[in-house]
Chain A
Amino acid sequence: MIELTDVSVSYNDKVVLSEVSLRLTERRIGVIGSNGSGKSTFARLLNGLLLPDRGTVTVDGLDTKTKAKEVRQKVGFVFQNPDYQIVFPLVEEDIAFGMKNLGFDKATIAAKTEEALKRYDLWDHRTHAAQFLSGGQKQLLAISGVLVMEPSYIVFDEPTTLLDLRNKLTVTGAIRELEQTAIVVTHDLDLIADFDRVIVFADNRVMADDVPEVAIGKYRKAMGDV
């Protein structure tokens, strides 16, 4: 369980999140809200990329402030732009990066690389330059690079925003099939329509927190879409 208690974050004297308290226990959680509502900040709090100014964030009881290393392994993070998340020139080098950081041995790295790349039909591309993959394949590679680190939770920050429809469907399917808990920050309402829970951010606070139908309805209404 990820738990936020009275969390506030300011950036350059501007409040970005104000006194947010949440317990995240569901397997599929969507997070929506207009630009600048604080949802990206919220996502970065969950794996300790960002630390709260006030309040605490804990992952399975581990405080993100003091247990950074453990938290980073437990909570994987997939960014909006896979081009910035893929940091090595070749597909197989990139996928190994996170595992090397966690100190996995060579045999484990090789086995898990094969498993992950085969899962997403990237095995034939393993010695290719990541540069030449399609947008959807790059996002799948980014997801693979996180999955091999064996996280219990995966946070997605607008994973389909930059993709065309075909690639969007591929990535949406990949997220649906994950065994892990997925927390998905998005503008893509279709992606989260069948989730267990949807949290709506507005004006740096939680405006709604409910099953998708109700939460999305409130969001549409607040945005003037009736």
Chain B
Amino acid sequence: MFDLYRPGTSFLHRAPAGGKVLALFVLGTLAFIVDDIRLIFAGLALTLLLYPVCGLTLKNAWAQIRPTLWILIAIFIAQAIFNTWQLGVFVIARFGLLLLLAGLLTLTTRASDMIDGIERGLPFLRPLGVNPAKVSLALSLALRFIPVLAQITREVREAQRVRGLENSVIALAIPLFVRTLRMSDDIADAIEARGYRP
């Protein structure tokens, strides 16, 4: 399956997905409570150390920060102007910590293990009116049809390019949504034909 997982055998790779999500949640909350910059930097250092320990590279760590870099810079500048530059450093250091922690979760956990974790947790949501079987079917269907729809999007784009319409969002989207709706009729039929009762 396509995900951001990096294979490995470290203790974080072997840890259960649910435990890692819980740990991230607790550590993330702590990072928001703590107001001592030294603790944030200590956390940053420890988290960075975990990357090589888990067989990941510093390049992997940098890849967690890079997509958000311009936001971090903008935040730093805003804080430096409206407040103090020290607060700017604090805020972006806390951001970096959260991104790197979340990155550890994403890089060491297969999407399929996450889904298994979610499916195990779903029965606890039953009192809220959540039907675990339905959520799990919707998750599987979405994963199955992302590549199918990506392929169809590519086909529609190519067809419109031939007609000189490649820059028209409307010409791309209308056939795509109509096909998706027709497909959902056929898929629903196929699911029911295989004995599924909602």
Contacts and interface: CB of A to CB of B under 8 A. Distances in A.
Contacts of B141: 87
Given A87-B187, A88-B140, A131 B197 contact: no
Contacts of B147: 129, 131
A86 interface: yes
Chain A's interface size range is 20 to 34
A89 interface: yes
A206 interface: no
B148 A79 contact: no
Contacts, number: 61
B1 interface: yes
Contact of A101 (B143, B189, B195): B195
Nearest to A73: B195
Contacts of A212: none
B144 interface: yes
Given A89-B1, A89-B143, A93-B140, A83 B148 contact: yes
Interface in A53-109: 69, 72-73, 76-77, 79, 81, 83-89, 93, 97-98, 101-102
Contacts of A199: none
A24 interface: no
Contacts of A47: 193
A149 interface: yes
B148 A87 contact: no
Interface of B: 1, 137, 140-141, 143-144, 147-148, 183, 186-187, 189-197
